[in-house]
């Protein structure tokens, strides 16, 4: 090798690391970063033209879309119908071209097909995020609505195990599981929307659950923050994501809440740390959209707010958690709600009614005290809740909070007599009664100030207990 060639080789060796480092730097800078918030619309009507028009309208102030109701054609052995994948491909391409991320709704394990998923992986990459498979399974279980997962059980644990096994079979481990169409079991995330039993949805195999804000959630005074506490707590315990689905506020037109109300719901979800905020769009018959200019303006205004006010990561260490009894699948929507749809609140007579009442009033009280910093978990012998990192863990049977809290009664008797929970209260703690009573009177807007003054000493005693607990690392009942 001559002197010139040797010199050239040395120059190449000297400068090549510079180009390698530059290339790596450029790659790191251009790699896509997942957004902290996915905001979008769930379309649930069949019109292809209206769907494309809606996508076009919202694409400048959303980044997420749910391709919902699909036109069904033909007949098969499962469900009596198959979905039109040609329509799905057209809408998916339209969404992708607008720069949006998206998921696909399905209630049939043959849709989308394995071939369609393979093509989606090639054509849409990470923009296609997963499958929204089945809908409101927890709510259907509580209400014993269409095709509940469990129709009879010997006790709460039996009901919980049956529910988780059935849903998991539909998702991941059954002969007709939707993931059988995946190239590998965890290729795509699985989503659902629900209004109860969020904990068991995650346990069954969902990666993301949207807590619903709408008709099915019961007490309007508490339903939204209570739904957040239940869903966010479950997502935290299972190390998964959560979100909010804002659905119908009325059973008839105009269906959806007003623009200002929609904006407030989105703000509540955002401030609580929801990763997904989705607005449902369809009439009762799934034939046309219902979102009006005022609601679309609210979404646009909210999108601008999130751009101007990026939120910080929600820290578990600043939140407290109320821990429910294991397998206590109560709906928490109203005094007459069910436990797994199989037992009423009075399943074992007066003792069980008081047991449910005490837990319900504790939750109401803690929601008032902690607000957005309260999660709700379930006790589980297979899971160490302390390791989650909450500021405080408050167990349902902690007698330092509620003296003489009754043990869980027998679970074998199922009765049909409904006694209004609030009129049958037998709270053992005068401190808890005082603060819970003040909350109820406040929402009734009658005599609030005078009542609080009369009970000020009791409320102070109860609050001091919680404050002392917050100052300690955490406490449990052994």
pLDDT on residue 114: 96
Domain boundary among 279, 308, 337: 308
Is the predicted pLDDT of residue 161 greater than 70, yes or no? yes
User: Can you read off the two tokens belonging to residue 16?
Assistant: 């090549």
Considering the domain boundaries, does residue 17 fall inside one?
A: no
Considering the domain boundaries, does residue 441 fall inside one?
A: yes
Considering the domain boundaries, does residue 413 fall inside one?
A: yes
Mean pLDDT across 24-32 = 40
Domain boundary among 253, 279, 308: 308
- Please report, in angstroms and rounded to a whole number, the separation of the first and last CA atoms in the chain: 81
Same domain, 286 and 325: no
Same domain, 226 and 267: yes
pLDDT on residue 53: 96
CA separation, residue 285 to residues 175, 310, 453 (Å): 31, 38, 52
Same domain, 229 and 354: no
Considering the domain boundaries, does residue 176 fall inside one?
A: yes
Is the predicted pLDDT of residue 29 greater than 90, yes or no? no
d(CA 176, CA 188): 17
Q: What is the pTM of this model?
A: 0.81
Considering the domain boundaries, does residue 13 fall inside one?
A: no
pLDDT on residue 328: 95
Considering the domain boundaries, does residue 5 fall inside one?
A: no
Could you list the residue range(s) of the whole structural domain that residue 464 is in? 316-471
Closest by CA position to 244, among listed 311, 297, 191: 191
Same domain, 393 and 362: yes
Closest by CA position to 152, among listed 340, 297, 360: 340
Considering the domain boundaries, does residue 456 fall inside one?
A: yes
Closest by CA position to 336, among listed 347, 325, 323: 347
Parallel, antiparallel, or unpaired: how do β-strands 82-83 and 72-73 relate?
antiparallel
Same domain, 209 and 356: no
How many domains is the chain partitioned into structurally? 2
Query: Range with the lowest mean pLDDT among 205-214, 235-244, 323-332, 431-440?
Result: 431-440
Domain boundary among 287, 308, 329: 308
Considering the domain boundaries, does residue 15 fall inside one?
A: no
Residue bearing the bigger pLDDT, 21 or 320: 320
Same domain, 104 and 191: yes
b/e per residue 323-361 (b: at least 16 CB within 10 A): bbbbbbbbbbbebebbbbbbbbbbbbeeebbbbbbbbbb
Same domain, 283 and 341: no
Is the predicted pLDDT of residue 462 greater than 50, yes or no? no
Q: What is the CATH number of the domain that holds 64?
A: 3.20.20.80
DSSP SS3 for 45: coil
Give 141's pLDDT tier (boundaries 50, 70, 90): very high
Mean pLDDT across 122-138 = 97
pLDDT on residue 81: 55
């Amino acid at each position: 090798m001559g002197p010139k060639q040797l010199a050239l080789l040395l120059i190449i060796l000297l400068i090549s690391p510079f180009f390698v480092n530059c290339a790596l730097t450029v790659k790191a800078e251009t790699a896509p970063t997942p957004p902290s918030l996915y905001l979008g619309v769930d379309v649930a009507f069949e019109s292809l033209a209206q769907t494309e028009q809606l996508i076009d309208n919202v694409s400048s102030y959303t980044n997420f879309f749910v391709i919902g109701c699909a036109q069904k054609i033909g007949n098969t052995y499962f469900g009596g119908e198959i979905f039109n994948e040609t329509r799905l491909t057209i809408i998916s391409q339209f969404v992708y071209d607008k720069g949006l991320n998206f998921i696909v709704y399905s209630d049939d394990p043959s849709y989308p097909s394995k071939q369609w998923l393979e093509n989606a992986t090639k054509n849409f990459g990470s923009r296609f995020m997963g499958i929204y498979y089945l809908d409101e399974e927890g709510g259907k279980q509580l209400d014993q609505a269409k095709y509940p997962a469990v129709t009879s059980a010997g006790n709460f644990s039996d009901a919980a195990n049956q529910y988780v096994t059935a849903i998991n079979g539909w998702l991941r481990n059954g002969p007709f599981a939707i993931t059988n169409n995946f190239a590998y079991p965890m290729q795509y995330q699985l989503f659902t929307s629900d209004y109860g039993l969020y904990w068991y949805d995650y346990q069954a195999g969902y990666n993301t659950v949207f807590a619903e804000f709408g008709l099915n959630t019961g007490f309007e005074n508490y339903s939204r923050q209570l739904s957040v506490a239940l869903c966010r707590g479950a997502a935290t315990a299972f190390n998964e994501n959560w979100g909010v689905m804002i659905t119908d506020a009325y059973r008839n037109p105009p269906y959806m809440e007003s623009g200002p109300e929609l904006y407030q719901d989105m703000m509540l979800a955002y401030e609580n740390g929801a990763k997904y905020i989705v607005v449902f769009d369809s009439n009762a018959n799934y034939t046309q959209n219902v979102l009006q200019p005022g609601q679309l303006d609210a979404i646009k205004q909210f999108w601008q707010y999130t751009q101007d006010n990026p939120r910080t990561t929600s820290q578990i260490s600043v939140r407290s958690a109320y821990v429910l009894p294991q397998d206590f699948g109560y709906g928490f929507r109203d005094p007459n709600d069910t436990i797994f749809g199989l037992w009423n609140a009075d399943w074992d007579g007066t003792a069980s009614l008081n047991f449910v009442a005490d837990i319900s009033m504790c939750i109401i009280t803690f929601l008032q005290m902690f607000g957005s910093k309260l999660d709700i978990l379930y006790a589980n012998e297979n899971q160490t809740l302390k390791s989650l990192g909450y500021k405080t863990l408050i167990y349902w049977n902690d007698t330092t909070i509620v003296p003489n809290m009754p043990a869980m009664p027998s679970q074998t008797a199922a009765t049909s007599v409904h006694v209004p929970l609030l009129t049958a209260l037998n709270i053992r703690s005068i401190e808890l009664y005082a603060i819970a009573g003040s909350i109820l009177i406040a929402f009734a807007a009658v005599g609030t100030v005078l009542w609080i003054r009369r009970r000020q000493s009791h409320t102070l005693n109860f609050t001091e207990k919680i404050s002392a607990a917050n100052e300690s690392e955490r406490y449990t009942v052994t």
